[in-house]
Structure 1
């Protein structure tokens, strides 16, 4: 009989409720300062990261190989036969490659490490979809077969106050930076089919960028009903405004508001507002 584990990393921004509901196994990334180290989503908050950015911009690190091996060993001891793993996309972190390597060394568990080509709840939504299928009694092969189709239904769009931190972290992808900052151009950033950041559209100033983001969301909702997560990084007020605006839209099947992980906050800086849009039917 199959016993299937769902595994993700802390940047997927799953709520504790979802983690408990689907018994998701979590691997936490790390935030490293010169003289101290923190565990993402465990002993540091996004706000603490933002408050300290003027003093020091920390490094981030994927979960340790030891943590990954320990998790798979624990799963083996608990009788798991299969695992489905997805988290931050392979173009944005080395976590994907490390997990593939570790999984290959635990032959007692049949494992699929799936590239979300996304981040935050773009990756988390895939885990939720897997959890829903497990609750429906779907088998491992059935769930794995649906992973590419789920990924195709997920879109991520966000605005940042400054591109400074994406540039410093080397995660700028195909987003043009320096000149745009001088002209107060605010790109609406998305993720392409290769899992790389790119400029979806541009606006002059934050207000116009927020309006453009709403236009993008409304266009998506005209195509189909959708689940939406409003995400913010050090911008609760703006995130709440967007959430309130969307709360009366009849084409939204599920609406949630949350903050991004501290690890993501290191690379975006304060002032991020974004959405993850998942087309229905998802599973």
Structure 2
């Protein structure tokens, strides 16, 4: 495995097959629904979560891992290889206390264990796709500094746009961010949402209907990436058919070298609601396919 460990949290919504293949360490958040608390992706699968959500009138609540949980992970990885360094990449600090828990743990294990905690300023596969690319790099023998350099480039050049069926969940959970000022007009429209540079939700543009909203997304992505080779990620909340339909259009539009369709897990799904579809695009590195 070399001298670099990649750690993230369950809100990255990385497909389990990728977690296993690329040896990514995932620390789960927790979700409480119907007075029962589960570990995201561990004791509660995405499919089961959406089944429970459909039959519940209550809005689920979520909570971050404790610093002690992160510390246990960091120390375990250190024991595997005492020459290794850990790159710990997490959900936007504007959306969760997960980042803070990770940083407290990193401070606790320092200087014995070298951990650098990174605020992705993103959510779901918008940072999961970045984590996967870094894990691939680690498997190729990249150094810690090479991983950090690639990380910064990916954070700058990866884009995300998403559509929600309703703003109800984002509003109720307080994750509406900078879109809150437009909440009245947005309720009558189909907003194309994205994330600010600081990691907050904002309304990129308003549209009448899903078809027009997707056209806006396609136009934005084509303008950003043109003829560049890219990786495409589509994350959906119990909306596989929509994700597959959108995939076909985007693969015709962009120079897509690989596509990953993944399910939005219980924690992020608690905040976006079912029917959400997110589109993530990141550039392919020169010489990579």
Whether the 8 Å CA contact 2:60–2:270 is kept in 1: the answer is yes
Instruction: Kindly state the Cα deviation for residue 147 of structure 1 after the two structures are TM-superposed.
Output: 2.2
Q: Please report how far the alpha carbon of residue 208 of structure 1 lies from its aligned counterpart in structure 2 after TM superposition.
A: 1.9
- Tell me the equivalent position of 2:221: 217
Q: What is the match of residue 79 of structure 2?
A: 77
Structure 2 length as normaliser, TM-score?
Answer: 0.90
Contact 2:227 2:255 in 1 (8 A): no
SS at match of 2:278: strand
Measure how far apart 1:42 and its partner are: 1.8
- Partner in structure 1 of residue 28 of structure 2: 28
State the alpha-carbon separation in 2 of the partners of residues 256 and 137 from structure 1. Answer: 24
Offset of 1:45 from its aligned partner? 3.1
Q: Partner residue of 2:185?
A: 180
Equivalent residue for 1:62?
A: 64
CA distance in 2, matches of 1:24, 1:45: 18
Distance in 2 of aligned mates of 1:133 and 1:45: 28
Q: 1:191 to 1:180 in 2, by over 3 A?
A: same
Gaps of 5+ in 2: none
Q: CA deviation at 1:244?
A: 2.3
Q: Deviations over 1:224-250 (max 9, x none)?
A: 221111111121111111112233456
Tell me, yes or no, if the aligned pair for 1:221 and 1:252 is still in contact at 8 Å: no
1:38-60 per-position Cα deviation (integer Å, ceiling 9, x unaligned): 11012223344344444211110
Q: 1:280 to 1:205 in 2, by over 3 A?
A: same
Question: Which of residues 200, 209, 229 is equivalent to 1:196?
Answer: 200
Give distance in 1, aligned partners of 2:78 and 2:283: 35
Distance (whole Å) between structure 2 residues aligned to residue 3 and residue 25 of structure 1: 14
**Mean CA deviation greater in 219-228 or 44-53:** 44-53
Change (3 A) 1:161 1:2: closer
Instruction: Output the aligned Cα RMSD.
Output: 2.1
- Taking structure 1 as reference, are residues 34 and 230 closer, same or farther at Cα in structure 2, changes over 3 Å only? closer
Q: Answer yes or no: is the 8 Å Cα contact 1:49–1:266 preserved in 2.
A: no
Give the TM-score of the pair, scaled to structure 1: 0.91
Query: Once the two structures are superposed, what CA deviation does each residue of 1:86-131 show, in whole Å capped at 9, x if it has no partner?
Result: 0211111111111011011112211111111111122112222322
- Length, aligned pairs only: 282
From 122, 126, 129, give the equivalent of 1:122. Answer: 126
SS of 1:247 mapped into structure 2: helix
Change (3 A) 1:67 1:255: same
Q: Where does structure 1 differ by over 6 angstroms across 4 or more consecutive aligned residues?
A: none
Stretch of structure 1 that moved more, 134-143 or 258-267 = 134-143
> 2:279 matched to which residue of 1?
275
- Aligned to 2:177, the other structure's residue is in SS state coil
Q: Is the 8 A contact 2:162 2:277 kept in 1?
A: yes
